[in-house]
Structure formats: C-alpha cells, structure tokens
Amino acid sequence: MSNDESKINKELQNRMKEFQTALKSQAKKQELLDNLPLLIRVEIFLPSPNLEEFVNGLYLYMGDTEEIVNAEYYFQDKDEVQICSLSDDELKIVKELFEDEFDQDME
C-alpha cells in the first residue's frame, strides 16, 4: 500500500468512526449535519456518437440555495480522464441552460 493510500484509508476510518458516533446520538448527528456545508454534485452524461471511444459530460455543483454555483467539463477516453473548470462565460451558458431542471423540491 502506497503512502497516499495509507493516508486516505486512515482518514476514511476516522470519518467512519465519527459517523458511527453520530448515528448513536441524535444530538451528535444534528451537530455534525448542522456544521456541514452543503454542496451537491450532479453529473450530466452528454450524448456521444461512439461510447467505446470516449464519454464526456458536466459536473454541476449546487449550493444550499440549489442554484448552480460552479461547473466542470470532463472528457474520458480509453487512456485518461480530463476535467476542466468552465470560464465565467461558459458557466453562465450552463446556468441558463440547466437552471429550470433543478427546482426547489430536489432532495
């Protein structure tokens, strides 16, 4: 196991202990949930003419108000995945296109 994997596994185990503690106490659970900033990531798979060759899509990030606050584009071919942030102008277009798809009742 590499050093990075060890760090990840150690942190994951610490978080799982924290979550288990929260499950045993409603007060601890509420304290944990009240202190978490909400950021929802929605993945949109864009149509691709040849799925064996590549896939691409968008990650949309929404905050507490369920408004899109950021977005990234991803492209995955056989060899690698590349992700890039959208410029302000690109983000504006994405917001305008998808804003009505996510309403206040989304859970």
Give residue limits of the domains in the chain: 1-36, 38-107
Max CA pair span of the chain: 51
The 10s digit of each residue's pLDDT in 34-46 is 888 878 899 999 9
The 10s digit of each residue's pLDDT in 52-105 is 889 999 999 998 777 899 999 999 988 899 999 999 999 999 999 998 887 644
SS3 for 93?
A: helix
pLDDT band at 3; cut points 50, 70, 90: confident
How far is residue 100's CA from residue 58's CA, in Å, rounded to a whole number?
16
How far is residue 107's CA from residue 8's CA, in Å, rounded to a whole number?
29
pLDDT value of position 48? 85
